[in-house]
Amino acid sequence: MLQWLPGPKASLRWLRQASLATPSSHLSTAYSSVPLGISSFRARNSCGALTPLMWGSATQRIAWVKRHHRPARHPAWEAPDLLILDMRECFGHFPGAESSCQPT
């Protein structure tokens, strides 16, 4: 899911819709072989515990992961510079460029 859209409205709307999805829905339980890149930011006031990657690997093929120490609840709004660098690293700088998120 690409979160980079101007302003907070689009990402907040996506988060609300995602929270309404029930665990029994087909999309939340079906496995997808599409490579997934994860850019993870710490939560504010967290104890330092990280989300286990095996939670995502149950339904997705995780191809790229980057964990940041900077706290951000909405990275597209609070840390767009880091998020853009992560997307460039995962998907490549230009169309057709070699990337670490490409399927093998």
What pLDDT digit, counting tens, does each position of 21-54 carry? Answer: 656 556 666 788 888 888 888 877 766 667 777 7
Residue 81: per-residue pLDDT: 93
Is the distance from CB of 72 to CB of 43 less than 8 angstroms? no
Residue 104: per-residue pLDDT: 47
pLDDT confidence band for 5 (50 / 70 / 90): low
How far, CA to CA in Å, does 61 sit from each of 24, 34, 69? Answer: 20, 6, 24
Average pLDDT, the chain: 75
Q: How far apart are CA 48 and CA 94, in angstroms?
A: 35
Whether this model's pTM surpasses 0.85: no
Residue 17: per-residue pLDDT: 78
Residue 90's Cβ-count burial label (10 Å; 0-12, 13-18, 19+) is buried
Residue 39 has a CB neighbour count (10 Å cut-off) of: 20
- Ordered by start, the domain boundaries in the chain are 33-94
